[in-house]
Amino acid sequence: MKRITGAKQCVGVFAAGLVTYAMVMACLKSDRLGLPLWLSSLGWVLLLMSLLLVAYSLFINLPLRQTYIASGVGSRLVKTGTYALVRHPGVLWYALLLLSLILVSKAKLLLVASPVWLLMDLLYVFVQEKFLFTKMFAGYDDYQRETPMLIPNRKSITACIRTLRPPKAYVQVQGRRI
């Protein structure tokens, strides 16, 4: 796909479309769970959070143009923001998204589909780890030693928070920094 203009984008849009279609259909064409209203309300909050986190991790934290628009593959390893939390934050946010969809839609089918979809995402991540990323990114071996793959720890949470903060801007007023 590196050499075919537009292939990366077409495959990405097609895959995202299939996943979205499968989720929508599972939500709409399923029997319902008898969940209390407060769980559905919690689901809406989690849905909004998960969508914002997915968007941040995949489209803001990563260099958008190099990752999704430009031909070929990006060579810049991102180790800040949510990628300081874990090496694959999209998996965490996808799991949160699936949980929120179960709570919002109350679809019984999602109780079966969600674990399958999550396992497929995990399989994809393991393939990336084993066969792709160590060849694509210089320093990925060090990143693997420094940052947990999927489960955050105290050190990675601190690193994530530290790198999410905007840099301090100082203004000079009559020779003093404020």
The stretch 160-172 carries a mean pLDDT of 67
* Mean pLDDT estimate for the chain: 88
User: Distance (Å, rounded) from C-alpha 89 to C-alpha 49?
Assistant: 13
Alpha helix locations (H) across the chain? 7-28, 37-55, 64, 82-85, 89-105, 109-127, 133-136, 140-146, 154-164
pLDDT tens sequence across 71-83 = 555 668 999 999 9
Domains of the chain by residue range:
7-164
165 or 60, which is more confident: 60
Is residue 140 very low, low, confident or very high in pLDDT (cuts 50, 70, 90)?
A: very high
For the chain, percent of residues with pLDDT exceeding 90 = 69
pTM for the full predicted model: 0.84
- Better-predicted residue by pLDDT, 67 or 63: 63
Residue 171: predicted pLDDT: 47
Query: What does the pLDDT read at residue 22?
Result: 96
